[in-house]
Amino acid sequence: MSVTTTTHLNFRGQARAALGFYRSVFGGDVVVVTHAQAYGTTAPDEVDLVSWGQVVSDAGFRVMAYDVPPAQPYEPGIAPVFVSVRGTDADELHGYWDRLADGATVVAPLAPSAWAPLYGMLTDRFGVTWVLDVEVPWNG
C-alpha cells in the first residue's frame, strides 16, 4: 500500500472557488462533494457547501478543501489546515491512528462513515489536526 499526505484547507463558503483557482494554477481535475451529497444535509445555507473537494494534477499536485458549516465555529488562522492521510489498507491506517492518538484529542473516532469505509479525525499532542481515511472514488 502507499499513502499520501495532502493539505486539507478549511473555508467558510469559499472552498469551491478556491479549488477552481488552484486548478487554474496547477491544472488537473476537480472533484466536489457537497454537504447534501455526503451528509444528506437539507438546510438551505448548507446544501451546496463543499464537504469534500480536491484538485489532483498529473504533475502530483494535490489539495483538499472543506466548507465549515455556519453552525460550527470557524476562525481563519485557528484551524485552517488539516493533514489528510489517505490510503487503501485499513490495517495500516489503524496503525498510524493508534500511534497518532497517543496524547491526542479525538475529534471523530476512526470508524466507517457515510463517505468512506474508514474515517477519523484527531488533534495530536502538538495541536496538528489529522484526518485519516480509506480513499474511495467519487462519481459526482
Q: List the pLDDT tens digit at each of the 140 positions of the chain.
A: 677 788 888 889 999 999 998 898 778 999 999 999 998 889 999 999 999 999 998 878 898 999 999 988 888 777 777 888 888 889 988 998 999 899 999 999 999 998 889 999 998 886 778 899 998 876 65
Q: Which three cell numbers stand for residue 77?
A: 488562522
Start-to-end CA span in the chain (Å)? 26
Amino acid identity at 54: Q
Beta carbons of 106 and 97 less than 8 angstroms apart? no
The pTM assigned to this predicted structure is 0.69
Question: Could you give all domains of the chain from N- to C-terminal order, each with its CATH number?
Answer: 4-134 (3.10.180.10)
Rounded distance, CA 34 to CA 48, Å?
5
Rounded distance, CA 9 to CA 96, Å?
21
